[in-house]
Each structure stands twice: as structure tokens, then as C-alpha cells.
Structure 1
Amino acid sequence: MTGQEQTQNQWRDTALGLVSTQSFPAIVGIADTMLKSASVALIGYEKIGGGYCTAIVRGRTADVRLAVQSGVEMAEQFGQRATSLVVPRPLPNLEAVLPISGRLSQLAQGGGNSQLSHLAVGLLETRGFPAMVGAADAMLKSADVHLAAHEKIGSGLCTAIIRGTVANVAVAVDVGMHEAERIGELTAVMVIPRPLDDLEQTLPIASCWIEKPMEIPLKIEEKVQETEELLIALPDLQQLQIPDDR
């Protein structure tokens, strides 16, 4: 029996756990709590629009029940209304239809990490895209952090996801909160100091952090100098007389 077949057999005697809220930073924080409260694997997130998103975990039934209970309690601390479900011994057809089969295969084979692995995670959610962009810009300029990705879950809710050291992420998120409130509506923030591997592999990461970061050389000073020289020469060019060949 291959390693993948052994892993698949291991999953057959387990349960699925689902916890749903209306905030992406909240659901990531809930997922982090579930992972740290019991021996479960985070399969991923399902977003159905209207701001609703669900964290899906897998493990032994007792562990899943404990993780889901911890997730619901954490949602209440966030001020979020959560719905939850535990499915013991799900049949293969249910798993095949749900958006988790790819993640189960990744768990069997072992997933890779991005260049931002093991850095703290900061999530800042706004209602409205301009507020998120403004907050992301402020966060990048206030501390040594990287914008890893952004996530949209409907109802105008969008989240900027940053990575960096705990101290830098905390500073950046604090600055981003004020900028988001200045521009529009801030709905949620979350800082996760030590994300586990499962959380790492399910967070949205921009492709530039999975592959080699894209290098865009910006020779600003040279461009400014060329523009100034063109402006100086412009009056002389206007005085030139074009010969009439007729």
C-alpha cells in the first residue's frame, strides 16, 4: 500500500467540521484557534458570497467536535454570529463534490511553503475597495511588511493580507486601521503571530511570493532628468521652421 493510500484510509474514519462567519479575518482567526485546540487538519475555506465564509477542518470525530466548539467560542469573542456543523464519517461522494478534494490530495502528498512562510500574518478587512487599498499602502509604508494577497468575500468586504515579523505586522495593522477608517469603513482586523503550517498552506498568496518575486526596475531619477531636458528644449523646438517642400 502506497503512502497516499494509507493517508486516504486514515481520513475515512474521521469527521468534517465546518464553522461559518461573515468576515475573512475572523474566519482565519477561528481556523487558527481550531488548529491549536485539537489535532485537526485545515482543509480550506469556502466563500459563497454575501460575506459568508466557512473554515473546514478534518480529523478524528472527538478532535473535530472540540475544534468546532473552540471555533464557535472564538467567533463569539470576535462579535461574530457563527454557524457550525460536524459530519462524522462523510461518504466519499460528499467529499468529491465539496471543494476539499484538492486539499486532501495535497495533504497526502505534502504541500510546499511560500517565501513568506512562518512570518506573522496580519489581516485588515474593509467594506469598500478604496479603503482596503489605502490601508494596504499605509501599512506597507509604516513598517517592514509585505502585501501577500487580498481576498474578496462579497457584500463589499475585502481583506488585505500582510506578512512580516510580529512587531512590524502589529505596527502596520495599527496604522492601516486608522487609514481605513479615514477613507471608508473598517470591519475587522486580525494578527496571527505564529501561524501553523496548515494555516500557511490555505491562506491566499499572490503568485509573486510563490515563485521568484517580480523585479521592476524604476529609474525614477533618470526619467525625471529626461523630462526636464525635454521641457527645456521644447521652446527651441517650437521656434524651428519646417521647410516648405512645395
Structure 2
Amino acid sequence: MPDAVGIIETLGFPAVLAAADACVKAASVTLVFCDKSESGRFAIAIRGHVSEVTRAQAAGIAAGEATYGGEVITHYIVPNPPENVVAVLPIEYTEDLERFRWG
């Protein structure tokens, strides 16, 4: 069964940086994606077991909202993404990420 995917989208870079930092410190997850999504918005994707992603995402949302001027636009968790979704979207564990991967 594939690992869950959690997404957080924020307004502004400081909020997404705080969210990413809080996510990886709060639970055993791997940050697999971070990029601009549109018009001052940034998104991150984390992967791991569902319980870990849930805990990490909660910490990331709180950190993003607590950042001065920060705003979390949206967030969601896909508990069991199908392999074809993982293959198409930029959420795969790449060779560069293997040394940071949990589990």
C-alpha cells in the first residue's frame, strides 16, 4: 500500500517554509515536493504513514498560520493514492530523497 500524501498550500514563502519545517520535525514524514503554485502561493507535499502525515500536517498548518502574514490557503490528505497518480504527479520518492526518507 502506498504512503499517504499530505498537501499544504500557503500564501507567501515564509509560511510555507515554517509549515515544511514543522511537518518534518513533528512526525516521521518525507518532504517530497515544494514549489510555487501560483500568484504568491506555495505548496508542499509530504509522504508517510497516514497517522504520521495527519500529525505532521496539523503541525504544519499551525506553523503556517502562526507565521507573521502567513495564511494557509488549503490543505488535504490522500490516504491511499493509486500508483498511477503517484507516477504522474511530482510526489514520488526520487533517488535524491532516499537519504531523507523515513521508514
Task: Flag whether TM exceeds 0.5 (same fold).
Answer: yes
Gaps of 5+ in 1: 1-116, 217-246
User: Partners in 2 of 1:179 and 1:119 — Cα distance?
Assistant: 23
Q: Larger relative CO (CA 8 A, sep 6+): 1 or 2?
A: 2
Task: State the partner residue of 2:5.
Answer: 121
Which structure: larger Rg? 1
What secondary structure is seen at the aligned counterpart in 1 of 2:60? helix
Task: State the partner residue of 1:180.
Answer: 64
Q: Which residue, 200, 213, 223 being the options, matches 2:86? A: 200
Matched residue type, 1:126: T
1:130 maps onto 2:8 in alignment: no
User: Partners in 2 of 1:199 and 1:214 — Cα distance?
Assistant: 20
User: Partners in 1 of 2:26 and 2:12 — Cα distance?
Assistant: 22
Task: State the partner residue of 1:211.
Answer: 95
Whether the 8 Å CA contact 1:151–1:204 is kept in 2: the answer is no
List per-residue Cα deviations over 1:112-152 (Å, max 9, x = no partner). Answer: xxxxx811000000010110011000010000000001132
Tell me the percent identity: 37
Question: Whose strand fraction is larger, Structure 1's or Structure 2's?
Answer: 2
Structure 1 segments, 4+ long, off by >3 Å, are 212-216
Question: TM-score normalised to the size of structure 2?
Answer: 0.85
User: Partners in 1 of 2:9 and 2:57 — Cα distance?
Assistant: 10
Task: State the partner residue of 2:29.
Answer: 145
**Alpha-carbon distance change, 197 to 215 in structure 1, aligned in 2, over 3 angstroms:** closer
Question: Whose helix fraction is larger, Structure 1's or Structure 2's?
Answer: 1
Task: Provide the aligned length of Structure 1 versus Structure 2.
Answer: 98
User: Partners in 2 of 1:215 and 1:166 — Cα distance?
Assistant: 21
Question: TM-score normalised to the size of structure 1?
Answer: 0.37
User: Partners in 2 of 1:156 and 1:179 — Cα distance?
Assistant: 18
